[in-house]
Amino acid sequence: MKKIYHLSTCTTCQRMLKETGAAGKGFVLQDIKTDRITPVQLDELKAKTGSYEALFSKRALKYKELGLKDQVLTEEDYRRLILEEYTFLKRPVIVDGKKVVVGSPGKEY
């Protein structure tokens, strides 16, 4: 499976898609704002990355707004938060078979 989870309004995602050319290399694009990530998809990503925390964006505005930076979060907390609020998914997430790149991958694609 070749898939990119991204946010179409995110300038970093737009830049990464353009720089890597991944969209033209057979990747399926999923805009997580309009096509939310499912629990099954998130669990598959966790299995490939090793943790929900690796998929969680601590740079999201709501992270500070909700006071999460002052709390000790569990893996279940990270999972629940990502499913509740799409901006908590670190992006882009690029899946190419068994390989997963979370965040800015550079120009390896």
What DSSP letter does each residue of 72-103 carry, written as one string? Answer: ---HHHHHHHHHH-GGGB-S-EEEETTEEEES
Give me the long-range contacts of 80-86 (CB less than 8 A, separation at least 24): 81/56, 82/37, 82/42, 82/52, 82/55, 82/56, 83/36, 83/37, 83/39, 83/42, 85/60, 86/7, 86/32, 86/33, 86/36, 86/37
pLDDT at 71 over 60: yes
pLDDT of residue 26: 87
pLDDT at 24 over 80: no
Question: pTM to 2 decimals?
Answer: 0.89
State pLDDT tens for residues 29-58: 999 999 999 999 999 999 999 999 999 999
